Structure 1
């Protein structure tokens, strides 16, 4: 009470104007940083432009908050924006990420394990700092005006803020125009508008999907054509957060692939992902839609490749050691790896990827039909890279042993990440070994491709989920490795030398997964596009 008596009473408009100034000054360091790299001005012009940008932000925030300046909403809304804005500032400052629709989709679809991996003392500090303006909003005495008078003052503030916003833009229109034309480069860093807009967009899309959700069947005409002497078994490994330029198979100078390099694998060096996050890439790679035509709504309202394969009578199994299958496995047999299973690969909270193989031999022994088994691995999921591999796979040291990646040296961060790739190499070798045990009875094959890549502090950016249009190559260029059991290619009439000639093909991407697997399992359907089948031109007689 004493504090409230010491503070001068403010009108709702003035409280909003004050809070808008706080947002400009303390919540938008990433936006100022993005602006510094985008606006090519110097000297006095530069100073005046930055002043105009501050005015622009302040006016925009006033307009954003003004509809909530009435008694029941004013303090709760300011408090909510103060706290959520502080969390957004933490992630943008700590990891250099932008906040767009895809990022907010990731937030909404994350699980408790992923959330716990991001918790830190630094996040708590940001949260406490966000509580300062939130608390002041409740302590500061507010003098509400009679309705009509208050409405007129709100209209006056709206007019003034709009005028200032227009003047700020007009005064440097030639500089602002290209900045906002390429919105990914600036607006996704403006706090709080970036996350508010992105959250609203994702929420509206999810509501529309929920309201209109009728799963559209695809490939109802699909039929398998008998070919070869034996049944086929494909283990398709969905990798996590592996970047192609850290695979020794792709020319990386460190020995991150010691086991795969000793196997007779096909390594495709120029593959690009459908998205920069699991939430986009996983459903997209199993979708009939190519990257440029894919949307979250299409992914959730149309059947996937696995539905088509299952419809032909194939056996399909999805094993999960990541967050979840993002809807892809909903209509096929699927199982999460229990974190408490009695195996050397689980500790009660998480499992190493080798847990995906526990008991799998017994399942394979029962197979009497063409089968695809999808293993969704934990791979190189950050920021707790040190938790993704066992001690005997730590071959590069010293390592970054915290989720505060910016506090580690670049070498420590690269070391710990390379250890995850080294373990992925070991895991894939174990998959191949399992398939070798069954290659006399089945035409066995393994296909590994990562869902997306990862930034390791280059230009201050960490993790992934950058807007695809501006995402660095590290987040979109992914490794892809195929292995075939003895006689599998010959039995299906595919020339290995022809496939080897495609290892450096420049246009390969996740778009090839859907049609190549249809081709591999000899599925005839009107959905099939031969131009996106990796194997088609390598079949004898094609």
Structure 2
């Protein structure tokens, strides 16, 4: 190695470069994989060390095999450079937040907005990108690579691939009884392995997206939807504000028994609180379209979410006026066929700073819209809520009650106390925001039968077992990511006008099987929309309306 006009390294063959780069991936980019592996196996002593050596050889051979397939003169360096940069970013997020990378996580990446993406950037991420990304790229491009003639090169690649297959077979065969249960449930380990986790997820996401785009015909649903005669004849119309929360976990609501008083304002209001509600997904990209879909979680898919109409389409078809206001990333396709608008971050407002808006910005000028309403209406407020990792930007300083706080997006560098404090301040602000929503509805309850329904899209991990943020695979996600708060408020006479018995509804507050699956049918039922899609068993209100005709 000499220093002159630039860094010059000794020449090596393409095979040796692939072997060295693969080894670096195994040793430097897969700390999360090794950590997960340590939790999955029960071997002890020398047997454990031997298995780890076996797994290292297995991983080295598998990555070498993949990269050998692209080790040609015009592809090798560009591919290795791209893998180095992407793997550095993947390593950072897995190490820092304890996440895994699957198709849903890739979908989140592609559907995030610049504001959300910038919130994740920090100097530690920059360090990963420089040391594990840019530095290897420089070394790769400054290293002269020797390529064999075409036929000799192909023969060499075949021999390398055969050797890799042999190493994989020997490594797995020696510990088959240990490997088998690990890979039988792929979520336990394969979503950690860098770079195969994101390469597989990217391929699967691309295939799904291409399939959806090729068949992107929106299927209408509920074409028979119509308001019931009773609802149509009712002089006093219904006005619902449906607040879609963000990243709120139920166990941090004092309404649900949390030791801290995070719901002081709601506790003084006439709230119906539901304590055992579960989400459809662990990320906004899944949960939001799913909760507005006619499909239950077990039958929902991203393709169905993008190719079928949803709840808002059916309500609009039945004559309900619909408006979606967004202070989050976007509505994930849910609001595309109804009136909708985003809250501009740069608007002159006491709630916006040019980069973010507090959720109270959703209420600015909303009264003027309500004044123009002449029929049944639903207003959906997509809140920013407790969106991480910059929790400290989600609430005004006047509500920073719990201190000291975590004032960085590098969550692993904060103490558990600081992280919980800053998160609880976001819940405290959600409490205040919902109280403001109810205040607005109270102002309109003489003219409308008013109601508010709040439910979060998913929960959040706060460092438990080394896991932060959300979007864990649903089957393995902790309760913190799937157990969400849901509550309702009704204006004076609204329940009696709608024929709903409050005591009956209150009795459902602790039912264990409530979920996002109930939203579609409950809102249809509340507005008394008749359609063959409606399923009374999933309508929370249905059994509490004894005088209402059951025909739908």
- TM tier relative to shorter chain: over 0.9
Moved more, 341-350 or 291-300: 341-350
DSSP-derived class of the 1:72 partner? coil
User: Aligned partners of 1:64, 1:310: CA distance in 2, in Å?
Assistant: 51
Give yes or no for contact 2:94–2:100 (8 Å, CA) kept in 1.
Answer: yes
Partner of residue 284 from structure 2, selected from 268, 278, 290? 278
The equivalent position to 2:387 in structure 1, one of 381, 403, 412, is: 381
TM-score, normalised by the number of residues in structure 1: 0.99
**Residues 337-364 of structure 1: CA distance to partner in whole angstroms, max 9, x if unpaired?**
1112222111111110000000011111
CA distance in 1, matches of 2:176, 2:534: 49
Aligned: 1:456 with 2:445: no
Shift of 1:9: 2.0
Which aligned runs of 4 or more in structure 1 are off by greater than 6 angstroms? none
Is this contact kept in 1: 2:8–2:142, CA < 8 A? no
Contact 2:2 / 2:9 at 8 angstroms: preserved in 1?
no
C-alpha displacement at 1:6, in angstroms? 6.2
Of residues 57, 68, 86 in structure 2, which corresponds to 1:55?
57
* Shift in Å, 1:274: 0.3
How far 1:201 moved relative to its partner? Answer: 1.1
SS in 1 for 2:514: coil
Answering whether residue 242 of structure 2 is matched by residue 236 of structure 1, we say: yes
Give distance in 2, aligned partners of 1:135 and 1:342. 46
Aligned with residue 45 of structure 1, among 44, 47, 58: 47
Cα root mean square deviation, aligned: 1.1
2:101 maps to which residue?
A: 99
1:80 and 2:86 matched: no
Q: Is contact 1:257-1:425 (8 Å) kept?
A: yes
Query: Could you tell me which residue of structure 2 aligns to residue 7 of structure 1?
Result: 9
Instruction: Name stretches of at least 5 consecutive residues in structure 1 with no aligned partner.
Output: none
Match of 1:287 among 284, 293, 296: 293
Match of 2:173 among 170, 174, 181: 170
Q: What SS does the corresponding residue of 1:287 show, helix, strand or coil?
A: coil
Following superposition, the deviation at residue 391 of structure 1 comes to 0.9
Paired residue for 1:36? 38
> How many angstroms does 1:2 deviate by?
3.7
Equivalences, count: 542
1:249 deviates by 0.1
| More divergent stretch after superposition (49-58 vs 130-139) | 130-139
Matches of 2:268 and 2:203 in 1, distance apart?
50
Quote the Cα distance in structure 1 between the aligned partners of 2:152 and 2:328: 56
Distance 2:20 2:161 in 1: 15
Distance 1:171 1:274 in 2: 41
Give, in whole Å, the separation in 2 of the partners of 1:151 and 1:360: 67
Conserved 8 A contact 1:229-1:491: no
Give me the whole-angstrom Cα distance separating, in 2, the residues matched to 1:190 and 1:479: 34
1:137: which partner in 2?
140
Q: Is the 8 A contact 2:7 2:142 kept in 1?
A: no
Q: Paired residue for 1:505, among 511, 524, 547?
A: 511
Partner of 1:217: 220
Establish whether residue 432 from structure 1 lines up as the match of residue 438 from structure 2.
yes
Q: What is the match of residue 190 of structure 2?
A: 187
**1:205-256 per-position Cα deviation (integer Å, ceiling 9, x unaligned):** 1111111100000001111103344100000000000000000000001010
Offset of residue 367 of structure 1: 1.1
* Deviation for aligned residue 1:8: 3.2
Contact 1:448 1:481 in 2 (8 A): yes
Rounded to whole Å, the distance in 1 between the matches of 2:72 and 2:112 is 34
> In 1, Cα distance between the equivalents of 2:308 and 2:112?
22
SS in 2 for 1:187: coil
| Equivalent residues in 2 for 1:346-385, closer than 5 Å | 346-385=352-391
CA shift, 1:5, in A, is: 9.0
Residue 307 of structure 1 pairs with residue 313 of structure 2:
yes
Once residues 207 and 259 of structure 1 are traced to their aligned partners in structure 2, the CA distance between those partners, rounded to angstroms, is: 47
Q: What TM-score results when the alignment is normalised by the length of structure 2?
A: 0.97
| Alpha-carbon offset, residue 134 of structure 1 | 1.5
Does residue 1:206 correspond to 2:206, yes or no? no
Q: Which runs of 5+ in 2 are unaligned?
A: none
SS in 1 for 2:248: coil
